[in-house]
Chain A
């Protein structure tokens, strides 16, 4: 059996922890020669989703844990982000009106919109009292 190409990292509910996930992903990306574009895209994706989870999922709690699991199968990159925070489905966020002028524009919902556009698949489920977000992207060399 071939060894699994992937890693899992569990971080606390502190915004500074986002960089720990980024560092782990950078190491993984180096090891598997992922294109620079994918690395930058994933940094945006992690920033949006972890910021969301940390900011909204753990209100009133001092501690919590978020697990990020990354796996590469052929050219398919799968990422699962799960946490034990209160039920929070970021996919329910309103789709932003991207056509509005500067004075009318709001930022709410933009982060998750960026994630949806960047990834091929984004699914949410509440499983065993955990929020589970499954993302996938097929990596193309271009």
Chain B
């Protein structure tokens, strides 16, 4: 079924074929893992934080072209940003950077934002830093969702 392919933008396919920041970070400051095998998308995002700045970010994703492309593009968007800036990232930013997504794939962009938020939560939690409300509530929603 190549129907989906006709609906993907060139940017999505570009990121899918040559994803940026693929792989894992060995001693990450935080890890975010979201999605599940039943729905067919699992994203794992690793961040390295220095002086409140995300200096390094990598991902591993099991999923469709949109899942891989959204993972790839969010690493581009976030790299070099402060934690506060990264928290403000929305799925609209991800979709816009990919020149749009087919409607049925919008959930992939949400997944990438969730993965980032979880990585930040993991980092702040481990560092015993104050965790902003929106990050906590997202974390709680994801836990409820995955159990």
Partners in one complex: no
Chain B residues proximal to chain A, CB less than 8 Å: none
